């Protein structure tokens, strides 16, 4: 598994110049790939490698290849990005991605040499090798074990401060081997940030209040449009982003400490074909659910647990006891079989059932009551996926 150790550094003029040339080379690869509709490393190599070497001969070949690889990743990511509302409304093409002069530059193991015992990193620059002292916080000391290895390094500037990321390759934690693994479902939503099938609720009343305050201030500042308002908007954005990351870290840490083997989550990358409205979509996308999923994955990996994704269809409408489609009004779920439960908790249990079907096979404690009315075709297909053989 990989972990990232971020430290602040004092970048020398030679390192700054190397990063500037690196980003110029990356922008050239981006421009060539964007114009020629090429996104693979092999195609970018043929289009721009020798042009970059001739234009910036001080940049060594390994740095040029790192710039090519990063450009390929950026182009692939931009190709998958959906068009913004403004681009759709005006029929505009996606803009050419451009890197800033001091944005992060990547270095592979041909360009740097780590000396973790003495807390020094030797980096190849346009003026030869330079040594950067590393002030590693105490929290990251647990990852500096003899079995670890520095796979790559990123150096960049953010908000006037230079940072260095050490991407560490750590030994994998062996997964838990249980004959009957315990699978717990988690429902992520608007009213509650997360609800576990075991009954743990992570409420969002305080979170929504704070985010509402940020949204109100952001609207007022955007309406003002002055230079000081724009400066305040940048500060506000970083503050809200750090608040979300802190809460997601806390939730993931508490979930990882619970007793289970597998956590089942909805695959939120699957969006419904019929949009429910701008207001609902803004609320649904208001919290960093993808960030929470990433934190859960790496925190569970450290303790030998894992995450599985299940399809989100009908998880909030299906009864977790009998399997019929029920009715949901607000936070209450009711089924024609007489079962009622909190809607988010009911959804979390359905997600757990689907995850259990993927991990250990079909569940046997969920009766299908056929005489309570015919199911729709969609529901029948969904229930058949629950009882399908394990993958």
3-state secondary structure string across 315-353 = CCCECCCCCCECEEECCEEECCCCCEEEHHHHHHHHHHH
Exposure string of 130-159, with b = 16+ CB inside 10 Å and e = fewer, is bebebeeeeeeeeebeeebebebbbbbbee
| pLDDT score of 158 | 86
Cα distances from 150 to residues 5, 46, 94, 278, 301, in angstroms, run 10, 29, 36, 45, 19
For the chain, helix, strand, coil in percent to 5 are 45, 20, 35
Q: Measure the CA–CA gap between 386 and 381, rounded to whole angstroms.
A: 9
Nearest to 387 by CA among 315, 349, 307, 360: 360
Q: Measure the CA–CA gap between 257 and 132, rounded to whole angstroms.
A: 37
| pLDDT score of 271 | 55
Quote the distance between the C-alpha of residue 109 and its chain's center.
26
Nearest to 352 by CA among 391, 303, 381, 318: 318
Q: How many helices (H) and strands (E) does the chain have?
A: 10, 15
- Asked if 204 contacts 331 with a C-beta cutoff of 8 angstroms, the reply is no
Angle between helices 61-80 and 41-55 (to 10 degrees): 130
Q: Measure the CA–CA gap between 75 and 38, rounded to whole angstroms.
A: 8
Predicted TM-score (pTM) of this structure: 0.72
| pLDDT score of 125 | 93
Structure-token pair, residue 310: 């299940």
User: Which residues of the chain are under the pLDDT cut of 70?
Assistant: 270-287, 361-391
**Would you list the domain boundaries of the chain?**
2-169, 174-391
β-bridge mates for residue 161, sequence order: 158
| pLDDT score of 270 | 58
| pLDDT score of 320 | 87
Q: Measure the CA–CA gap between 232 and 255, rounded to whole angstroms.
A: 35
Torsion of CA 250, 251, 254, 258, to 10 degrees: -160
């Amino acid at each position: 598994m990989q972990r990232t150790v971020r430290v602040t550094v004092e970048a020398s003029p030679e390192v700054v110049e190397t990063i500037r040339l690196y980003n110029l080379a990356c922008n050239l690869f981006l421009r060539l790939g964007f114009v020629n509709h090429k996104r693979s490393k092999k195609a970018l190599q043929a289009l721009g490698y020798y042009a970059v070497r001739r234009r910036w001969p001080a940049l060594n070949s390994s740095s040029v290849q790192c710039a090519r690889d990063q450009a390929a990743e950026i182009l692939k990511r931009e190709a998958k990005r959906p068009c913004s509302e403004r681009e759709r409304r005006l029929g505009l093409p996606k803009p050419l991605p451009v890197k800033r002069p001091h944005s992060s530059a990547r270095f592979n193991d041909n360009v740097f040499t780590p000396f973790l015992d003495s807390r020094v990193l030797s980096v190849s620059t346009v003026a030869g090798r330079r040594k950067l002292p590393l002030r590693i916080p105490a929290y990251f000391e647990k990852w500096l074990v003899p079995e670890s290895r520095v796979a790559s390094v990123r150096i960049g500037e953010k908000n006037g401060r230079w940072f260095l990321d050490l991407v560490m390759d750590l030994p994998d934690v062996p997964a838990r081997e249980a004959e009957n693994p315990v699978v717990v479902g988690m429902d992520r939503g608007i009213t509650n940030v997360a609800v576990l099938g075991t009954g743990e609720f992570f409420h969002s009343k305080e979170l929504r209040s704070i985010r509402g305050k940020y949204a109100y201030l952001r609207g007022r500042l955007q309406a003002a449009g002055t230079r000081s308002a724009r400066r305040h908007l940048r500060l506000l954005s970083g503050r809200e982003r750090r608040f979300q990351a802190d809460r997601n870290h806390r939730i993931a840490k508490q979930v990882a400490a619970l007793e289970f083997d597998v956590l089942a989550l909805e695959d939120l990358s699957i969006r419904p074909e019929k949009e429910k409205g701008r207001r609902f979509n803004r609320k649904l996308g208001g919290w960093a659910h993808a960030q929470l999923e990433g934190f859960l994955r790496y925190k569970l990996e450290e303790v030998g647990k894992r995450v599985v994704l299940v399809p989100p269809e009908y998880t909030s409408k299906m009864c977790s006891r009998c399997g019929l489609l029920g009715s949901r009004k607000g936070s209450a779920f009711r089924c024609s079989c007489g079962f009622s439960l909190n809607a988010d908790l009911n959804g979390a249990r359905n997600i757990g059932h689907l995850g259990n079907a993927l991990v250990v096979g079909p569940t046997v404690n969920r009766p299908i009551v056929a005489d309570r009315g015919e199911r729709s075709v969609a529901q029948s297909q969904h229930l058949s996926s629950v009882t399908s053989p394990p993958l």
